[in-house]
Amino acid sequence: MKIALCDDDEKELSNIRSLLDSYQKTHNIPLTYKEYHSSCELALRASKERFDIYLLDILMPHMTGMQLAREIRTFDHAADIIFLTTSSDFAVESYTVKATNYLMKPVSSNAFFAAMDDILRVKTQEQGHFLVLKSRIGVHKIPLSELIYVEAQNRKVIYYTSGREQIVCTELFSSVCDSLLQHREFIQVHRSFLVNMNYIRSIGTMDMCLHNGTNVPLAQRRVADIKKHYLAFQMEE
C-alpha cells in the first residue's frame, strides 16, 4: 500500500512517520510512504504517481490541504484521504472531498491506528473481488479495484491494470461485459470498451480521459447517458 504524507512541519512529519512504522510492525502489513513538505510538490507528483492513501495537513502555505485534496479528486476518486490538523474548522468541508477521516493533532496512536484499520477493512473487502484470467503466459488473479479498463480487439480482449499490466485473453467481449457490469463501478462506454469509473479523469463529447492518460472513445448516441451514469456514481460514492 502506497501512502503520501504531506506536512510543512518536520516535527509532525516525524510523528506520523513513527506511527506508520509502528502500525506496519504491529500489523505485519507492507507499507511504503513518501514525504512531501509542500502541498504544491505533492499536487504535481500525485498526477503522475498513484497513491492508495493521502495523509494531509490542512494548514499549509500557498495551497492548503483542503485545496490539495480538491486537486487530487480531479484525477483520483478512489484513494483514501485523512486530514491531520490542529483546527476543527474544516471538519464539515472535508466531506465535500470525501475524506475518510479527520484527525486532530497531536495525532495519537489509538486514533491513527483506528483510522488505518477502517481503511484496511474496506480495502480487504474490495480485494475479495478478483478476476481470474487465463492468457497465453498463464493464469492471472487481478483485484477488480486495480482494473482500469477492458478493450476488445478483433477476437481478443485486453485488460489494462493500474500496475501498467496488459493481459491479453481470447474470450467473448460480450461475456466480459455480462460479468463486469454486475459491479456498479463498471460501465460500457463503447462497443469495444468497458471502463472502471473510479479511473475516469474527465468526459468530453467524443471521448473520456482516464487517470493513466488513455483516451477512450465514447458511443456518440450514448454520451449523455454515460455522463448521467457517471454523475450518479459519483453522487453515490
pLDDT in tens, 158-198: 999 988 889 999 999 999 999 899 899 999 999 999 999 99
DSSP state of 8: S
pTM of the full predicted structure? 0.58
Residues 114-125 pLDDT 10s: 999 999 887 776
pLDDT at 234 over 80: yes
Task: Give me the sign of the Cα torsion angle 9, 10, 13, 14.
Answer: negative
**Residues 66-73: what's their mean pLDDT?**
93
Work out the burial of residue 74: count CB atoms within 10 Å of its CB; fewer than 13 is exposed, 13-18 middle, 19 or more buried.
exposed
Q: Of 18-32, 75-89, 207-221, give the range with the top mean pLDDT.
A: 207-221
Task: Give me the sign of the Cα torsion angle 114, 117, 118, 119.
Answer: positive
- Beta-carbon contacts of residue 117 (< 8 Å; ≥ 6 apart): none
**What three-state secondary structure class fits 103?**
strand
**What three-state secondary structure class fits 135?**
strand
Which is nearest to 159 in space by CA: 124, 130, 189, 194? 194
How much is the pLDDT for 237?
62
Q: What distance in Å separates the CA atoms of residue 7 and residue 57, rounded to the nearest whole number?
A: 5
Of the listed ranges 45-49, 65-69, 147-151, the least confidently predicted one is 45-49
**Residues 126-135: what's their mean pLDDT?**
75
